[in-house]
Chains A and B, each alone.
Chain A
């Protein structure tokens, strides 16, 4: 409820930081996920959030990083496919375009995810996006490609069911949002 810039001592429980320091989620909302260290960092599930303290080691033990410290808290109303598409749009637009894997990989992933958000996809597209991420990671001059590859792997890895709901075309959140925007 209170987004802002906070300085807290290392090691306090993440859940405590979110609930007390930052005032918690909107009333009645359930936590779904947290991106702990900037948009490029692997995402944590609500369960993982319960288990970690705000220190490097704890977050690393869940496969993510404290990174820039820019924390994104996601509640149940956000579709993870849509969230990932949003990131892909950002990173494909940010790509300077000099190295082939990043220039083409971020743009391609964005196009496929955009299709997925609009329910125009098959189960193969989930694998395709994963593969694009895997194939551009670690192959470029700077880490921009990895910055999208990490969310791709973790969003799909940890929230695969939401991607599958797009294949089945039954993600209520996205249906509603689309209806609202029409």
Chain B
């Protein structure tokens, strides 16, 4: 049975919405944006900020839109004089004791207090008294800082902890205009989803310990991506400026992460900015890896490929790399006759996990490499020539290498154990700089877009394999751009049938099988 519809008139516009829809959502559909602070679509109703007051005909007083459910025949005004005056006065009240530290506040530029003031108030302050002072720069937990003076007491953060993170850690204490946000005695704001409170805090009361004071938000650009922290693949945005990533924010995808992400995932961009990035191709000579021209690295690989029997060549793909990187890697080696493939994955002992977002498999693309038909690495044979995506722990690598006359080719973004044992190293982008897709645990193929380009001579795996294919006199696989790799993947691998950039879009596309 579908929900009955209710006919409602909002600002003169008649529309039908499911009965029981609240007025904020109904008005959104009617094209009227009702300002709100305490209301959040994922949380219970608090009705405390009072900025969403609207005028409902046949109701003597103004009503709060967030806590009013549409009934049939309701006539609502969200912008008449009465409402505008109420809105302005609520804003004035909220600002009475607000410190207005905008010049030093991280929220400035994405602050609902600033935004609504510009839109609905714009009056000079009439407050001549000393404001109520409260504490500033309180560490509520490992990742979140609180400025009690900036808090407008909307209780979103409190409700988030209780209702979404299911760990009741925050509360209000004191009364009247001394009311303040705090943690319960003896508790910390340390639940694994705590940083979402920063995002839903409408003002600069909650800020990220990591991001604080690093950038003014109006300098930041954003690109859509997917968190590589685990097999859930939370949809995110990367905020970046001038080739540096500054923070990750969750992006709505109701089928994956709704509007949240975990705190662990927030830091997955850090390696991109790290010191130990690889920048140039390297080849081992006289015992040490030396930077070489890219042509030299390609030539050397082509030479050793020609010299080693294919039965002694192994390709190790990676559950940390995109579908496109793995596919191009596999397809190139297949073209030169290689038959032995495995994939490696990040293995973590005692991985964090819960029954919400945090998945124990800390790889963003295991489902993707498995859809390519690859199996997890088993150390059952030794090879003379090994190609590896990513950094493989040296203990594992030693078990599959012949003792002598061996060559290891590594595609990696960073220095590491596997790179130390490598003979030829090709630098590749990190996920922040990469364009492609990951397949999450639901077999949902999701797009990651590059925030900026990778440093120096770093190239995507498919670019390196295109150069290698040419050097090996192969016509395939040679690609000019990522869409060609995606198209080839979708044509070649039955599981990926139908996958294309449009279908994947920004919400992903679930594989058939």
A residues 77-115 touching B (CB-CB < 8 Å): 92-101, 103-108, 111-112, 115
The reply to whether A104 and B177 form a contact with Cβ atoms under 8 Å apart is yes
Q: How far is the CA of A93 from the CA of B174 in the complex (A)?
A: 10
**Residue of B86, B126, B152 touching A128 (CB-CB under 8 A):** B126
The reply to whether B153 and A139 form a contact with Cβ atoms under 8 Å apart is no
The reply to whether B176 and A97 form a contact with Cβ atoms under 8 Å apart is yes
Q: How far is the CA of A141 from the CA of B47 in the complex (A)?
A: 8
A residues 16-57 touching B (CB-CB < 8 Å): none
Q: How far is the CA of A96 from the CA of B92 in the complex (A)?
A: 19
B residues 56-111 touching A (CB-CB < 8 Å): 61-62, 85-86, 89-90, 92-94, 96-97
A residues 93-152 touching B (CB-CB < 8 Å): 93-101, 103-108, 111-112, 115, 128, 135-136, 138-141
Secondary structure call for the A interface: helix
**Residue of A100, A111, A112, A128 touching B94 (CB-CB under 8 A):** A100
Residues of chain B lying within 8 A (CB to CB) of residue A111: 129-130
Residues of chain A lying within 8 A (CB to CB) of residue B51: 100
Residues of chain B lying within 8 A (CB to CB) of residue A105: 93
Total chain A interface residues with beta-carbon distance under 8 A: 26
The reply to whether A108 and B96 form a contact with Cβ atoms under 8 Å apart is yes
Q: Which of the listed residues B62, B93, B172 has the most CB atoms from chain A within 10 Å of its own CB?
A: B93
The reply to whether B179 and A139 form a contact with Cβ atoms under 8 Å apart is no
Chain B residue at minimal CB-CB distance from A135? B89
Q: Which of the listed residues B46, B48, B94 has the most CB atoms from chain A within 10 Å of its own CB?
A: B48
**Residue of A95, A112, A139, A141 touching B176 (CB-CB under 8 A):** A95
Residues of chain B lying within 8 A (CB to CB) of residue A115: 128-129
- B49 interface residue (CB < 8 Å to A): yes
Q: How far is the CA of A106 from the CA of B178 in the complex (A)?
A: 12
- B127 interface residue (CB < 8 Å to A): yes
Residues of chain A lying within 8 A (CB to CB) of residue B304: none
Residues of chain B lying within 8 A (CB to CB) of residue A97: 153, 172, 174-179
The answer to whether A100 and B153 touch (CB under 8 A), given A108-B96, A139-B62, is: yes
The reply to whether B62 and A100 form a contact with Cβ atoms under 8 Å apart is no
CB distance from B154 to the nearest CB of A (A): 9
**Residue of A92, A135, A136, A138 touching B177 (CB-CB under 8 A):** A92
CB distance from B372 to the nearest CB of A (A): 55
**Residue of A94, A101, A104 touching B97 (CB-CB under 8 A):** A104
- B424 interface residue (CB < 8 Å to A): no
CB distance from A109 to the nearest CB of B (A): 10
- B279 interface residue (CB < 8 Å to A): no
**Residue of B49, B86, B178 touching A99 (CB-CB under 8 A):** B49
Residues of chain A lying within 8 A (CB to CB) of residue B414: none
Residues of chain B lying within 8 A (CB to CB) of residue A107: 96-97, 132, 176-177
- B451 interface residue (CB < 8 Å to A): no
The reply to whether A138 and B61 form a contact with Cβ atoms under 8 Å apart is yes
Chain A residue at minimal CB-CB distance from B175? A97
Chain A residue at minimal CB-CB distance from B154? A100
Chain B residue at minimal CB-CB distance from A115? B129
CB distance from A113 to the nearest CB of B (A): 11
CB distance from B365 to the nearest CB of A (A): 47
The reply to whether B175 and A100 form a contact with Cβ atoms under 8 Å apart is no
Chain A residue at minimal CB-CB distance from B173? A97
The reply to whether A99 and B132 form a contact with Cβ atoms under 8 Å apart is no
A-B residue pairs in contact (CB < 8 Å), sample of 9: A93-B176, A97-B174, A98-B48, A100-B51, A101-B89, A106-B176, A108-B96, A135-B89, A140-B50
Shortest Cβ-Cβ A-B pairs, 6 listed? A97-B179, A135-B89, A107-B177, A104-B93, A111-B129, A95-B176
Known: A94-B175, A95-B177. 10 other contacts (CB 8 A): A96-B179, A97-B153, A97-B174, A100-B48, A100-B152, A101-B89, A103-B179, A104-B93, A108-B177, A128-B126
